[in-house]
Amino acid sequence: MDKRLPWPDYFMRIAYLVAERSTCLRRKVGAVAVRDRRILATGYNGSPTGTAHCLDIGCLREKLGIPSGERHELCRGLHAEQNVIIQCALHGVPIAGADIYCTTQPCLICTKMLINSQVNHIYFSQGYPDPLSAEMIAEAGIGFDVLEGDHGS
């Protein structure tokens, strides 16, 4: 009997490890793009390269009292999924057809980006207060599944 960790759990655990690099004070999120059981890119949420991290200067969203799931444009950071897409683009790695493993369900902005990136499937571990995200993923015909269990969170 094969007692090895199943592939989806393996990649989700890696997403949780990637999240440990996050510089966000509110929520640590990691994402991994995978095709043919090979990692294409990873991303975590945090400020753009060369700019101050929220860890160092504080959270703009906290200062403004913005609830989770609202007004994403009022934030210094990029989301983990955005950073995965950017890393693929920066290094010339096609993301179309990839599976995405996210520690948290993608928000609507990231969902729209992942749809247009033509990803195949999105796996996530924790929910997020953004019901339109799930509706748009279903409408686009992209696989969308929660991975239950302990992934190192």
Cα(44)–Cα(83) distance, integer angstroms? 7
Q: Kindly report the backbone phi and psi dihedral angles of residue 81, in degrees, each rounded to the nearest multiple of 5, phi listed first.
A: -65, -40
81 catalytically annotated: yes
SS3 state of residue 15: helix
Pick the catalytic residue: 81, 135, 139, 148?
81
Two structure tokens written together for 110: 């990231």
* Residue 54 marked in a binding site: no
* Residue 107 marked in a binding site: yes
* Residue 79 marked in a binding site: yes
Residue 98 near residue 83 (C-beta atoms within 8 A): no
Cα(132)–Cα(137) distance, integer angstroms? 9
Cα(113)–Cα(31) distance, integer angstroms? 14
Bridge partners of 123, per DSSP, are 101, 145
What residues are labeled active site? Answer: 81
Residues flagged as binding site: 79, 107, 110
Residues flagged as binding site for Zn(2+): 79, 107, 110
